[in-house]
Structure 1
Amino acid sequence: MLSNFALVAGQVVTLFLLMGAGFVLAQLGKLYPDGVSQMSTLVLYVVTPCVIIHAFAIERTDGMVRLLLEFAAVYALSTLFCAAVALFCFRGESPCRRGPMRFAMVYGNNGFMGLPLLLSILGERAVIYGVVSVVVFNLLLWTHGVRTMGGRVTLRQALVSPATVGLVVGLPLFLTGGRLPSMVDSAVGFLADLNTPLAMIVIGAQMAGADLKRSFTSPRLYGVAAFRLLAAPLVPMLCLLPLRLDPMLYCANIILCAVPVAGATGMLAQRFEQDTAVAAQMVTLTTLLSVLTLPLMAVTAQSLSGILPL
């Protein structure tokens, strides 16, 4: 068990080293907020669709479609559980703080951090589950998430997103067994490979702009962190165990439920005029604490599912 924990912890630390590059560059003034914003846009609107398309470019085996639909349902229910709990929290906070704090309880960083983690911990076969989670995440984000932040929900926001664009291109290829032209496929693959380093550098640079002292001194933020990093993965871990789900599906869902607060928290807080400072502090605190909690959750899920020996 200890060797498995050390292995997963090492993979998480590797991602943190990439984040450290972004943090140091931002602290030294070599990476400006405008540049971070542009890199974030690149990841969201170009790299993310390419990751989805590239992940769907695999051979479809018997039962795979059923597994993906099953995973989509399991991940959506896990997220909606968090949303239900969040409704009863932080009622005494001001509206501009309540929205980001509730949002942070529900939405984890499964795009920027979840996909690299699945690849590092479970291998390439698990990335397809991460892709499905990104689609479900975006559908919930642009409906429930926007509403939580005090915004107005539109059908266009719910249906038109980088994830759904990638899905529209990648899913037909997956279902029909078709492939993109070789040159296009190579370009998509190269862009998809940027997801891990670029996403981690963006998170590191965003952390450099947060008030680290306040991040570690607010009891309310520790409450959000405890729910996001411990309760959010533990509840589905225990509730789903009797169902005897596919081990890879089970572990992928738990890892994605255990990731820190989504980077989108700050972006949506700014867009809907909520408290951006508390949003940045929650992302920072949970991201740093996840270096301890993520290996624990990942190894426990792998052990319970049978992927790793107890």
Structure 2
Amino acid sequence: MDLLTIIVALVSLFCIIGIGFAARKYGILNGNRVHLISHILVSVSLPALSITSLQVPETAKTMGIVDHMLVVAIAYYLAALVIGILLFRFIPCAPDEKGVFQFMLVFPNSMFMGIPVALAVLGPGSLFYVILFNVPFYFLVFTLGVWLLARGRPGKIDPKVLLSPGLVAAIVGLVLFMMQYTIPAPVEYGLDLVGSATTPLAMLVVGAMLATLPLQQLAGDWRVYLVAALRLLVFPIVAFLVLSPFVTDRLLLGTAVLLIAMPVAANTVLLCEEYNVDAKLGSQGVFISTVLCLVTIPVLALLFL
């Protein structure tokens, strides 16, 4: 394991956040442009990425991996959701803040950062595992995640917000995988190009959102650090202790633990912006947890992977 490679991969994402921060400060990105980029990411780039990431061949081994990884991922999301609901019944926060905190606790940055970090820590063999872990992510982030965020807004939730392009794309991608239908090469290449823009654009949006915060607000408050501690340390350690007696595939175990240890999903900012809830709080959570993961991920990798 090359710790320098891990750190370089993490720092490179911070460089993009810095570019977005500077672009907002110098007027290159204003509020309307940031919102437009967020809308493109949620409606175009993320759906393209979710389809192309499932274009993998089916074998007896891969189908067994599929079953096991999906069970692990779904179990994690259910446990995190229950903890988030119970925890924020006792922690003081405004209605629109509660959904954002719960979203940050449940959803890790398992795709944007998960892929480059898993490749650096575990090697190219982990990529298929990363993709599988993210299948429930795409289903849940555009249903459960949207519900958590949207329920904090005034008025009733419009059911149409749950039928998002991201959810439709996840369904299409999974159906194509089960049918083992290979997308024609020119179409797949085009989708892959669009999907590859997701990570840099998402980091730019995070940086641009952070630039709107007063300097004293970048650090957030104790609730953000509580979420970061649970997300970066408690959840992955508990996952390792619970799964290690039952999961014999060490690459599957290592990938699952590593992805659970990722910082708050960058989608938090995109979806907060899309559904008009507290995007600044989401930006604080993404920023703080991503800064702290520069320490926690290498430590966890040395201890458990």
What TM-score bracket applies, with the shorter chain setting the length?
A: 0.7 to 0.9
Map 1:111-150; keep pairs closer than 5 Å: 111-149=111-149
Aligned to 2:106: 106
Q: 1:127 to 1:195 in 2, by over 3 A?
A: farther
Alignment match, 1:250? 253
Give, in angstroms, the shift of residue 93 of structure 1. 0.8
Cα gap change, 1:252 to 1:156, in 2 (>3 Å)? farther
- Identity of counterpart residues, as a percentage? 28
Q: Indicate if the aligned counterparts of 1:233 and 1:255 stay in contact, CA closer than 8 A.
A: yes
Distance, in Å, in 1 between the alignment partners of 2:130 and 2:159 is 24
Aligned length: 299
TM-score by length of structure 2 reads 0.83
Aligned 1:141-180 pairs, distance under 5 A: 141-149=141-149, 151=151, 157-158=161-162, 160-180=163-183
Alpha-carbon distance change, 137 to 244 in structure 1, aligned in 2, over 3 angstroms: closer
Structure 2 distance, partners of 1:16, 1:50, is 24
In structure 1, what is the Cα distance between the partners aligned to 2:138 and 2:19?
28
Question: Residue type matched to 2:288 in 1?
Answer: L
* TM-score between both structures, scaled by the size of structure 1: 0.82
Report which stretch shifted further, 229-238 or 285-294: 285-294
Query: Per the alignment, in what secondary structure is the counterpart of residue 81 of structure 1?
Result: helix
State the AA in 2 paired with 1:202: V
Q: Which amino acid aligns with 1:55?
A: S
Which 5+ residue runs of structure 1 have no aligned equivalent?
Answer: 303-310
Structure 1 Cα separation of the partners of residues 150 and 41 of structure 2: 25
Q: How far apart, in 2, do the equivalents of 1:126 and 1:20 lie?
A: 29
Task: Give the Cα separation in 1 of the matches to 2:271 and 2:236.
Answer: 24
Q: Would you say 1:25 and 2:28 are equivalent positions?
A: no
Match of 1:56 among 54, 61, 86: 54
RMSD of the alignment, in Å? Answer: 2.9
Match of 2:42 in 1: 44
5 Å matches for 1:1-310? 4-90=2-88, 91-96=90-95, 97-149=97-149, 151=151, 157-158=161-162, 160-216=163-219, 218-266=221-269, 269=272, 275-302=278-305
CA contact (8 A) 2:42 2:271 kept: no
- Cα distance, 1:187 vs. partner? 1.2
Structure 2 Cα separation of the partners of residues 114 and 240 of structure 1: 19
Whole-angstrom CA distance in 2 between matches of 1:182 and 1:271: 32
Shift of 1:257: 1.1
